[in-house]
Amino acid sequence: MINNFLLKEFGERIRSLRTQENLSQEQLSYKTGFHRTYIGMIERGERNISLTNMAVFAKAFKLTVDELLKFDNAKELREKYKLKTED
């Protein structure tokens, strides 16, 4: 899949926010309504989640969706983006 690195970056963002709030995956599961294993898969970059599910995470962390998607290394990531027409 193209741009898989973004899944890992997003997963790391979720894990970072969760640990900052001292939440276990199970506690975040309760807060979001998502299954604990789904959260683990997201944190490991194994799931490509929908925008609507991102909004659920944003609400759980008391953020807007754009705040949730703010990566410290955004400019670096942008250099890695690929179009579907690129090899």
- Tokens of residue 3, six digits: 């741009």
Q: Is residue 87 part of a domain?
A: no
Residue 67 to residue 53: CA distance in whole angstroms: 15
Looking at the structure of the chain, the number of domains it has is: 1
Helix (H) or strand (E) holding 76: helix 74-78
Residue 46 to residue 20: CA distance in whole angstroms: 22
Residue 16 to residue 43: CA distance in whole angstroms: 9
Q: Is residue 36 part of a domain?
A: yes
**pLDDT string in tens for the chain (87-residue length):** 678 889 999 999 999 999 999 999 999 999 999 999 999 999 999 999 999 999 999 999 999 999 999 988 888 888 888 887 886
DSSP state letter for 5: H
| List of residues 6+ apart from 35 with CB closer than 8 A | 29
State if pTM tops 0.95: no
> For residue 56, what are the domain limits?
4-78
